[in-house]
Structure formats: structure tokens, C-alpha cells
Amino acid sequence: MPEITIDPTTRIEGHHGTTLQVEDGVVQEAKSEMKMFRGAEIITLGRPPTDAAQITGMVCGVCFLCHRLCSSKAAEDAAMNAGVFDGPPRNAVLLRDAAEGIFYLWNHAVHLFALVGPDYSDAVAGTGFDRLDPLEGDGYMGAIENQRKLMKALAEFGGRAPHPVGYVPGGLAVQPDASTIASVKSRVMEVSNWLGPTEAVPEVIENVQNGEFDPELGEGLHDIVSILVAAAEAGAADIGEGPNRYYSNGIFEDPDTGDLFLPRGVYRDGSVELMSKDEIVEGITEDTEYSWYTDDSGGDPRTAKPPEPDLDKEEAYSWGKAPRFDGESMEVGPIARLVIKEADPFDLREALGGGAAESNTLNRLIARAQEALLVRDQVVEWLDAIDPAEPFMADDWTDDFTGRGVGLFEPSRGALSHYMDVENGQIEQYQIITPTLWNLGPRDGEGQPSILEEALVGDEVDNVDNPLNVMRTIRSMDPCLACAVHVQGPDGEFEAEVEPVRPGMSEGGCDV
């Protein structure tokens, strides 16, 4: 059986390879290979809980905000379980919702226009949609300009972007005034106007199908719909078919009721199961059978040791672990969140993708576009609900406690979990499970493939030098390998101790 190796996988975030077994031009088996060592958790050990947000926020320059917020939530959960903290103030919850909502818009635009869009552009695939052409198309360049506006909006709250410093356990380290909030809102509205009104989707679909372009209905919306139309015409609904099992941690919390705009739960056996945080945490395990880690680096992430490499495992092929929920692989990301919310705006997945809950390459793209519009329509409401006269930071936050906590979050790519154990003000254990691990991890000890490994089976390979359908399937999951595998070193034996600087580490005070 011919073997094809794709390494590196291009136009994604990070270092990834795929080995395919192909017969008669069809993929029979796939291995998803994460190419770098994962070790950010180790750096947090022995440090105060507040430091973890800063350290893990540096894991990736794309997913910078979500790791910082998830780590903060893990620290807060540990402190609340220890009985020394009552939770972040209302303003902090609202601002985190708004900031992550803005981040969703930014990251979805990066994915749709820069990472996936070229696969359906005229330059790459001869689709006629030259506005999607990388570096030259008007739609591509317009998206870059509007991504810049969103990054500026994030910087106004966080002090900088990427890697903001304003978000900390306990709330927000700064006190945004009314003019700052108004400035952020203004930038969001500019991007919203470029995107276009949600209710215009049916008319824009008709425009695109007829080769028409009406900027009054949204330049961004026309280009996003062009991606979806091109993908549908390319048969993307028939490739990348997953097992129709989904999992979401839920996100965007109502500070008054605790309800989540995108709910927490799983979808399996044809039905949604909404779950509590405890039920989600209880169901998650990690398998290291085919990972270059020791056995006790896997199992229950609440008790497993931080990642410990084991390079002698003969059958291992990935630096990623294999997360499972109740022993099953689960797809995460926009499609998971919308299936669990039971939302299919304009019935697009039902009409174009073979069903609202069907896992395939087209439906992943549709769900991302749908979610961008859903979240866009909420961000301004969250900003308007903030009262700049009220506190953004809790007055009872402290690093001095002993407790265990879990932060559950939903970056744009899918479910993220941070696990933190604190002993007398110092981190004793830390684990991170990222969305890319759920979607692109290796097989588990039962031989069960990851979502990507299963989804690639059946994809046609018309050209071994350019397996476009395979690449479209991989990219549809928006991989972020920097989040999944964190540190790489040279060949050979070496030893290094990493000690990030922080205020008070030297005798003179601050080394920063």
C-alpha cells in the first residue's frame, strides 16, 4: 500500500506532519504527527498561581488571550475551592466575554481568509474567486486590515496584543474608563460594518451564486460566502467526515445568572447532553500509548504528572497526547459549539452539508462563519453592559492558599482545559489540554484514531504531489500546534533550567 508523507503541513499554526496509507487513490489510514515537545506546564511548577497566566499566555502568539484567561480561571477555581476567594467581579466577567468575543472575530477571520480561504481561491484552485487570492485579492487584503483593527481593540484592554498583560486572576489589572470602552466599541463597529448584517446572508448567497457583489451588504460577508460556495462546489461536504461526536466546555458567561451563551456539554448518539462543569471534568482522560511520554504523564489530568518525555517508545509517533471523553474521541471547535447549542443559522449546514450535526470539511467552515456572526451580534451588548464606575478587580484575590482548580474555556479552535494544584502559594501540578490535542492527537491504547486520523480516511488523493482534499480537511480543523506542543531543543543530550523573570526574583527587586 503506497505511503504518502506530508511534512510540514503548511498554512497552519505550528509544526505538523501526516503519514497516509493510500490505495486506489483513497486514504485508508492516517497518522497525525505533532513534531515538537510539549513542556510549558513544567515551567509553572514552584511558582505562584498568578504567574501561570503570564507563562501559559506565551505558549502561542495566535491563541495568546485564551490561555491567559483559562489559566486565570484555573487559579480562581483553586482559590474558591480553598475558601479564600469569592470570584471575579461582574465587570471582569463581562469584559472577558467581550475580549474573547473580539478575539473570536479576529481568529475566525485569520482562519477563513489566510489559512483556509486560499484553498478555495482562484489562484490556488481556479474557482474564479480572485478576491480570495492570497496577498493580492481585495477580500484577502480587506480582511487583514480589519484584523488589525480588532487587534488594536484588544490592546486597549490588555495593554498590548498579542500577549496582553491586563488579564489576571481576580479580574483585570487595569480600570478601563468610559472613553476606552467607547473606543473599543467603535473599532468593533467598523469591523462589523465591513462584515455586513447577519440578516443579509440569504441575499449575499444569491449574489455570490450569480457572480454579483454588493458592498452595501458587507464586503466581508460576500467573501466569506464565496469561500463556502467554492467549498460546496468542490465537494467539501464529502470529505473529512468525522464520527459526529462533539464536546464543548461552553463560553460567554452571564455574570448575573451564570448561564453560558454557548453551552457546555457533549453530542453523541444523535443527541445533545448538557453537562455541569464537574461532569465534564470527570469524563476527561489522556492516553499516551502512542505519545513520547511516560505512562504516568497520562490518565486523569487532575492527578497525572506534568509531561515527562519517553523517547524509547517504539510505537510512539507524536508529541501530542490523546484526550478522550468517557473513552471516546470528540471533535471540538465551532461546529461542536453550534451543534451543542442546537444552532444552524439559515439552515446552512442542513441544506449544504448533509445535516446540521454532520461532521465534514464543509460544515466546519460553515459553522465557523455562522459563529462569527452570532458572536459579533453579542459583543457590543457585552461592552454596553460594563459599568466603568464599578470595580474590575476583586479585592480579596491572593496567591497564598492551598487548593486545586480547573479552568474550562473555549478558544475559537475548541475546548481548552487548564488544571492547577497549589500548595502553600506555589504550583505543584499543572496540565493543559488544548483543542488541537482533541482534534489532531494520535491513536489511543485501544487503537482508536483521533478525529483528524478518522476524518482523513476516505479522502481522495488525485495528485500525490498536491493532495488538496487532504490539506483542506486538515486545515478545516484550524490546527494550532504551538498550543499543543510547546518547546523544542537540539539533537543530543542536554539539560536546561528555565526560570522566567518576575518582580521580586532578585535581591534588587524587579528584573524585568
Beta strand pairing status for 403-409 and 322-325?
A: unpaired
Q: Cell digits for 443?
A: 491513536
DSSP alpha helix (H) spans, 356-410? 361-385
Find out whether 70 is annotated in a ligand binding site.
no
Find out whether 66 is annotated in a ligand binding site.
no
Count the neighbouring beta carbons within 10 Å of the beta carbon of residue 19: 15
Find out whether 480 is annotated in a ligand binding site.
yes
Residue at 52 is within a domain: yes
> Under a CB-based contact definition with an 8 Å cutoff, are residues 432 and 418 in contact?
yes
Residues 60 and 18 occupy one common structural domain: yes
pLDDT digits (tens, 9 = 90+) for 291-325: 999 999 999 999 998 888 998 998 999 999 999 99
What is the rounded CA–CA span in Å between residue 309 and residue 306? 10
Residue at 307 is within a domain: no
pLDDT value of residue 483? 65
pLDDT value of residue 403? 98
Residues 130 and 232 occupy one common structural domain: yes
pLDDT above 70 covers a percentage of the chain that reads 94
> Under a CB-based contact definition with an 8 Å cutoff, are residues 486 and 39 in contact?
yes
Residues 409 and 461 occupy one common structural domain: yes
Residue at 431 is within a domain: yes
Residue at 311 is within a domain: no
Find out whether 486 is annotated in a ligand binding site.
yes
The CATH number given to whatever domain includes residue 5 is 1.10.645.10
Asked which of 378, 393, 408 is the last residue of a domain, the reply is 393
Residue at 83 is within a domain: no
Q: For residue 15, name the pLDDT band (cuts at 50, 70, 90).
A: confident
Residues 185 and 270 occupy one common structural domain: yes
What DSSP designation does 270 have?
Answer: T
Q: For residue 505, name the pLDDT band (cuts at 50, 70, 90).
A: very low
Asked which of 345, 368, 393 is the last residue of a domain, the reply is 393
Q: For residue 498, name the pLDDT band (cuts at 50, 70, 90).
A: very low
What is the rounded CA–CA span in Å between residue 39 and residue 308? 8
Find out whether 16 is annotated in a ligand binding site.
no
pLDDT above 90 covers a percentage of the chain that reads 83
pLDDT value of residue 269? 97
- β-partners of residue 37 are 487
* Total domains, the chain: 2
Find out whether 224 is annotated in a ligand binding site.
no
Is pLDDT at 345 greater than 90 in this prediction?
yes
- β-partners of residue 33 are 17
Residue at 326 is within a domain: no
pLDDT value of residue 508? 34
More confident residue, 487 or 200: 200
Residues 229 and 354 occupy one common structural domain: yes
Peptide bond into 162 cis (omega under 30): yes
| Mean pLDDT, range 260-271, rounded to an integer | 98
Is pLDDT at 354 greater than 90 in this prediction?
yes
Residue 108: phi and psi, rounded to 5, are -65, -35
> Under a CB-based contact definition with an 8 Å cutoff, are residues 129 and 121 in contact?
yes
More confident residue, 511 or 250: 250
Stated length of the chain = 512
Mean pLDDT of the chain: 92
Residues 355 and 408 occupy one common structural domain: no
> Under a CB-based contact definition with an 8 Å cutoff, are residues 247 and 136 in contact?
no
Is pLDDT at 491 greater than 80 in this prediction?
no
Residues 141 and 157 occupy one common structural domain: yes
Asked which of 393, 410, 439 is the last residue of a domain, the reply is 393
pLDDT value of residue 100? 96
- β-partners of residue 22 are 27
Q: Cell digits for 495?
A: 539539560
pLDDT digits (tens, 9 = 90+) for 154-199: 999 988 888 888 899 999 998 999 999 999 999 999 999 999 999 9
Q: List the domain range (segments joined by +) for residue 238.
A: 88-275+333-393
Could you tell me the sign of the dihedral formed by the alpha carbons of 342, 12, 116, 450, in that order? Answer: negative
> Under a CB-based contact definition with an 8 Å cutoff, are residues 468 and 348 in contact?
no
Residues 57 and 151 occupy one common structural domain: no
Residue at 313 is within a domain: no
Residues 358 and 258 occupy one common structural domain: yes
Residues 351 and 411 occupy one common structural domain: no
> Under a CB-based contact definition with an 8 Å cutoff, are residues 325 and 441 in contact?
no
pLDDT value of residue 141? 97
pLDDT value of residue 488? 43
Does this model's pTM top 0.75? My answer is yes
Residue at 458 is within a domain: yes
Residues 350 and 494 occupy one common structural domain: no
Q: Kindly tell me the burial class for residue 312, based on how many C-beta atoms sit within 10 Å of its own C-beta (0-12, 13-18, 19 or more).
A: exposed
Residue among 260, 275, 315, 326 at smallest CA distance from 293 = 315
Find out whether 60 is annotated in a ligand binding site.
yes
Residues 56 and 194 occupy one common structural domain: no
